[in-house]
Amino acid sequence: MRKAGVLLHPTSLPGPGPCGDLGAGVWRFLDWMAEAGLRLWQVLPLNPPGAGFSPYDSPAALAVGTHLLSLDRLVDDGLLRGHELADRPMSTGRVDVDQVKGWHAPRVALAARRLAAQDPGAVAAFAASRPHLEDWALFEALRRVHQTDGWAGFPEELAAYALTAVAQARERYADIVAEVLAAQLLVHRQWADVRRGAHERGVEIVGDVPIFVSGSGCDVWARRHLFRGAPGHDGQWRPEPVAGVPPDYFSPTGQRWGNPHYHWPAHAAEGYAWWVARLRSVLDFCDIVRIDHFRGFAAAWEIPSDAPDATHGAWAPGPGAALFGAVREALGDLPFIAEDLGVITPDVEALRDDLGLPGMKILQFAFGGANTHPFLPHTYGHSRWVAYTGTHDTDTAIGWYRSADARSQHQYRVYVGRDGSEPSWDLLRLAFSSVADLAIAPMQDLLELDTHHRMNTPGTAEGNWTWRAPGLPAHTARRVRGLAETYGRIPTEG
């Protein structure tokens, strides 16, 4: 079935306060989507953000970020008092990370402590139903107590995840652990309401799973045998090799991400149980899941930890179909989208196609080369694709066009039969009119915004992940709906 959608992370929702959240703004957005005829809402990873507020560098792959919680809804639930929000900071038009940490987080903690005190049975039942959160709750408690971001700052026995020390810490810090679990319960409840509201409006949610996890995070701490590493000169565990990608569209020297690689034989020996739990947790929140860096399951780029950049890496095989076979056996159908961008080889395409997964077509990448480029819509060949105007990592459509070379601009104008004055709408029309089953655009392109509004610039550490939409114009919804109706992405009778 042909559908159209929008890419907008919840933190980018317009509204009051330091960050987009699951309050009134999300309901206005879902109503706006319904008016626009959009039936797919794609989000970035919902995990707690890591360095630079990045959702792709989370300290916990199976937890949810409580920065998404609506404090107003916690007032409605009786867990906060209205006067406790009286000093709410004004919105700056972007996510204010300092205020998220310094103003929002303490109020989430207060509400969570009250819930843990008022209804400990509900918190305990929730924790029992999601045992993977126990490690995250203790990890977060230890981070607070020892005032450190990662497990390397824990005392030696706790850093080593020595079972006796871990058990003693669980008992010693039981109050903080209960608070963290209660906060997880709260965000699960709020998101469940949002998901029901989306479904009532005919909207499905598309989630996102990064293939790699943070080396300093909870998952490596508690399950180090599942990751490749070795003690460094100081005796502390280090990832070896580290993850990244070879030179590509984004960087002539590639990208050295620094994440640890998986010890795939250990995962196989456990029936890929950690991956099954991870994907099950994401499907608690989403209907479809984009698998980021899908090619890494066929082969991943391994970089020596002491290499200066990603050009020194080499390909090493991944688990292939075996992992997805275990996931299918445990969870049933595979409602996944394969992020098959970058250096793609026949083995990656074969894995994607054998699993029956749609791949991605990025229209910004289609111009400037041959007329047989695989991202040009006339080359698609079949409908099992997701056509995007751009992604969270690219410039906006307007920014892309303005910075493109003359050849790419000329080819684009000839291809779309337009003069280049409306690149956002031209690319939207290409995506919506293509044979691809799904067509998705970042909100920035629907709002016709320039490069100053991009979400992320790969390879840079500052200024990313904090964009917020300036509004939800009714005229934009009407224009998007016209495209969706014209190109059969809204069901019609007769």
493 closest CA partner among 31, 39, 485: 485
Tens digits of residue pLDDT in 189-235? 999 999 999 999 999 999 999 999 999 999 999 999 999 998 766 76
DSSP state of 224: G
Which residue carries 């998007």 as its tokens?
Answer: 480
Q: List Cβ<8 Å contacts ≥24 apart for 444-448.
A: 444/390, 444/396, 444/397, 445/389, 445/390, 445/396, 445/397, 445/398, 446/6, 446/36, 446/476, 446/480, 447/471, 447/473, 447/476, 448/398, 448/422, 448/424
**What string of DSSP letters covers 4-57?**
EEEE--GGG--SSSSS--SSHHHHHHHHHHHHHT--EEE----SPP-GGG-TTS
Residue 292 annotated as catalytic: yes
For position 236, what pLDDT does the model report?
81
In 295-367, which ranges are continuous DSSP H helix? 321-331, 346-354
Q: List Cβ<8 Å contacts ≥24 apart for 160-165.
A: 161/221, 161/222, 161/224
Average pLDDT value for residue range 290-309 = 95
**Taking every pair of C-alpha atoms in the chain, what is the biggest distance, in angstroms?**
72
What separation, in Å, do the N-terminal and C-terminal C-alpha atoms of the chain show? 16
Has residue 162 got a pLDDT over 90? yes
The active-site residue out of 57, 96, 208, 292 is: 292
Strands laid side by side in the 204-209 sheet: 336-338, 288-291, 204-209, 40-42, 3-7, 438-442, 385-388, 359-362
For position 382, what pLDDT does the model report?
97
- What is the rounded CA–CA span in Å between residue 100 and residue 118? 25
Angle between helices 105-118 and 120-129 (to 10 degrees): 100
The pTM of this model reads 0.97
Has residue 472 got a pLDDT over 70? yes
Give residue 13's identity as a one-letter amino acid code. L
How is the chain split among helix, strand and coil, in percent rounded to 5?
45, 15, 40
The active-site residue out of 302, 339, 340, 445 is: 339
Average pLDDT value for residue range 25-52 = 97
**What string of DSSP letters covers 167-219?**
HHHHHHTHHHHHHHHHHHHHHHHHHHHHHHHHHHTT-EEEEEE-SS--TTSHH
Q: How far is CA 379 from the centre of its chain?
A: 29
- What is the rounded CA–CA span in Å between residue 66 and residue 184? 7
pLDDT interval class at 160 (50, 70, 90): very high
The active-site residue out of 393, 422, 448, 485 is: 393
- Cα torsion through 75, 19, 281, 185, rounded to 10: -20
Three-state secondary-structure class, residue 233: coil
Rg (CA), the chain: 23
- What is the rounded CA–CA span in Å between residue 194 and residue 197? 5
> Mean of the per-residue pLDDT values for the chain?
96
For position 86, what pLDDT does the model report?
96
Neighbour tally for 202: CB within 10 Å: 15
Tokens of 291: 């698998």
Which structural domains are found in the chain, ordered by start?
Answer: 3-63+201-486 (3.20.20.80)
Tens digits of residue pLDDT in 174-194? 999 999 999 999 999 999 999
167: which residues sit within 8 A by CB, 6+ positions away? none
Residue 393 annotated as catalytic: yes
Element (H, E) at 402: helix 397-403
Has residue 289 got a pLDDT over 80? yes
Average pLDDT value for residue range 70-79 = 98
Tokens of 24: 């009134």
Tens digits of residue pLDDT in 400-423? 999 999 999 999 999 999 999 999
